[in-house]
A = this chain, B = another copy of it.
Amino acid sequence: MSDYKAPVRDMRFVMDEIVGLAEIASLPGYEEATPDMADAILEEAARFTGEVLAPLNRIGDTQGCKLGPDGVITPDGWKQAYKAFCDGGWNGLASPVEFGGQGLPETFGIAIKEMAASANLSFSLGPMLTGGAVAALLTCASDELKAIYLEKMITGEWTGTMNLTEPQAGSDLALLRSRAEPQADGSYRVFGQKIFITYGDHDMTDNIVHLVLARLPDAPAGVKGISLFLVPKFLVNADGSPGERNDAHCVSIEHKLGIHASPTCVMAFGDHGGAVGYLLGEANRGLEYMFIMMNEARLGVGLQGIAVGERSYQQALGYARERKQGRDAVTGEALVTLEHHPDIRRMLMLMKSRIEACRAITYYTAGLLDRAHAGTDPEQKKRDLFLAEFLIPIVKGGGTEMGIDVTSLGIQIHGGMGFIEETGAAQHWRDSRITTIYEGTTGIQANDLIFRKLMRDQGATAKVVFAEVYATAKALADSGKPELQAIGQRLNAALKAWREVSEWLAANTKNAVSGVLTAAVPYLNIAVAVCGGWMMGKAALAAVARLDQGEGDPRFYRNKIATTRFYADQMLPQAEAWAQTVMARDLAIKDIGNDLFD
């Protein structure tokens, strides 16, 4: 069993030194986001997540959810924790003040979300999905629908869901079959079955707001004929209270590898005459609206990899500091704790450095979204948005793949005890395994990075990133400090590899599309490694500056520099290897058809 203590110091360091919290707090609307406010909120969130959510994590894993005659039953303690979560105002932290939110920047929101997901990933998925639905309503709901639903969802009184997948339509949403029939009163009747619906039903709130992708009768085929509907579990009375039960039901829940306490529902819409639904925005633009939410959702899922990784790291570190086994290889001291052993230290440092690198990329991206939202210069806002969108597949793909690797190391550090479920280390690994799949697989992130984010502006945004990474590498080289120069050299070599393969891809996407697609995930791996190095490079530069100024805890800054160098030594050389793989594309297999595997 493990405790969770939010890494507030590292979060604040990233917010202050890499994201630029002070600058974001100077943007219109974010004036409350002061350093003092950050201290207060992060400390309180750390207390709440550590004391209330974290102890439920293992209970959730062992009990899971059950489907009773009246719907899904969440594990013991879930209802109370959810109420406390909403009462604390955590649900609407970064939502607009006009609908009951607190209007704080996402730079704050992201840290709170990390804490919640670290403490209890299954729990955190409910608020995360609600947040996605809120974003969709803010984007495309009519004022009338906003007035009925938004405040209740932002306070958490009601939760939200996203209904995309159908049995025949997973990654390929063109295959959606759910349909919506217009009614005389302007509403619709929705029919269809949706699968993998997170928190599609539960017993924590008295209503649930489903957002459902479906086709209108006259809709074109494919992805351009999909509309978005709001389908509440209970129709809403004129006074805002839940009324008649709608024809939207959870008919079964899945038995999953992980996140047992997050109900994954098969939802039947319209099996008893039709589910009442309301069109959101314009007809046939549903997928577009979903993609607006998708960026936020993907940032959130990338964060989950970091969050579960952090939890696993804390538990592994705790074990390594407690468990005595073996002799110190250097001093010869008998029976030392595991953390003395170089290979255990290697694994702990690999966990720590990869988590910190991904945290920095993710928070930096959240900061860009804040700047894009509240900035004052339209050109700069556009640039920040493009930069954020460029980084999002890197955050999602990189954070989640890292999460699986790191939680596996968390098991390994425990030795045989790691394989015993009661230890709790295995749960993190099982929980993390969904993150590279939902909200778009790693392959889909890689394609998004290349075909949308890299190509849409002919590499202009990529060039901005390259220039920024180069500036960091140059600052490291110019620092006059050997340890920073060593980092700068590795970063520069990795950046060179990334640039080269980006140019290679640009020249080949048209005439060698299969080869580029084969190379997409290795390309994503390069981007993740380099962006991690870039962020850690910024961190090391900031740490050196603080040390030079004699400010703060020198041990923290010294460790940050060491962690950066460790990351550079372990992760950055791989960028060059993956570059070779990218440029090998599919030459090995391209002339062989589907009998390749015979």
Interface residues of A (CB under 8 A from B): 165, 168-172, 175, 195-196, 254-258, 317, 321, 324-327, 329-330, 335, 339-349, 352, 404, 408, 411-412, 415-416, 418-422, 426, 429-430, 433-434, 436-438, 441-443, 446-447, 483, 486, 513-515, 517-518, 520-522, 555-556, 558-559, 562-563, 565-566, 568-570, 573-574, 576-578, 580-581, 584, 586-589, 592, 594-598
Contacts and interface: CB of A to CB of B under 8 A. Distances in A.
A416 B520 CA distance: 21
A587 B574 contact: no
B513 A165 contact: no
Given A345-B518, A430-B257, A596 B562 contact: yes
Contacts of A483: 588
A598 B559 contact: yes
A483 B590 CA distance: 12
28 contacts: A169-B325, A196-B416, A257-B419, A257-B421, A257-B429, A258-B419, A317-B597, A339-B597, A341-B517, A342-B514, A342-B517, A342-B520, A344-B443, A346-B586, A347-B443, A408-B433, A411-B437, A412-B436, A415-B437, A416-B437, A426-B433, A483-B588, A559-B595, A568-B588, A569-B587, A573-B578, A573-B580, A574-B577
B566 A589 contact: yes
Contacts of A434: 419
Q: How many copies does the complex hold?
A: 2
A431 to B, nearest CB: 10
A175 B325 contact: yes
Nearest to A165: B416
A168, A329, A352, A443: most-surrounded residue (chain B CB, <10 A): A443
Contacts of A520: 342-343
Contacts of A255: 420-422
Q: A-B pairs with the 5 shortest C-beta distances?
A: A342-B517, A569-B584, A565-B588, A343-B443, A573-B580
B441 A325 contact: no
A170 B416 contact: yes
Given A418-B437, A562-B588, 5 more contacts: A170-B415, A341-B443, A343-B520, A411-B433, A574-B574
Nearest to A565: B588
Nearest to A257: B426
B559 A569 contact: no
A227 B410 CA distance: 33
A310 to B, nearest CB: 12
A416 to B, nearest CB: 5
Given A412-B442, A559-B596, A581-B570, A326 B521 contact: no
A317 B597 CA distance: 8
A432 to B, nearest CB: 11
Contact of A521 (B329, B343, B418): B343
Tell me what chain A mostly uses at the interface: helix, strand, loop, or mixed. helix
Contacts of A594: 321, 339-340
A175 to B, nearest CB: 7
Contact of A577 (B172, B352, B577): B577
A511 to B, nearest CB: 11
A321, A325, A344: most-surrounded residue (chain B CB, <10 A): A325
A447 B514 CA distance: 42
A80 to B, nearest CB: 27
Contact of A566 (B339, B433, B588): B588
A254 B422 CA distance: 9
A174 to B, nearest CB: 8
Nearest to A584: B569
A205 B325 CA distance: 36
A504 to B, nearest CB: 14
Contacts of A344: 443
A412 B570 CA distance: 25
Nearest to A417: B170
Nearest to A415: B170
A169 to B, nearest CB: 8
Nearest to A423: B257
B555 A595 contact: yes
A479 to B, nearest CB: 16
A485 to B, nearest CB: 13
A325, A576, A596: most-surrounded residue (chain B CB, <10 A): A596
Contacts of A566: 588-589
A487 B472 CA distance: 37
Contacts of A346: 518, 521, 586
A513 B104 CA distance: 51
Contacts of A441: 412, 415
A343 B517 contact: yes
A421 B597 CA distance: 26
Contacts of A254: 419-420
A446 B412 CA distance: 14
A352, A412, A446, A595: most-surrounded residue (chain B CB, <10 A): A412
Nearest to A583: B569
A513, A515, A518, A559: most-surrounded residue (chain B CB, <10 A): A518
A412 B521 CA distance: 13
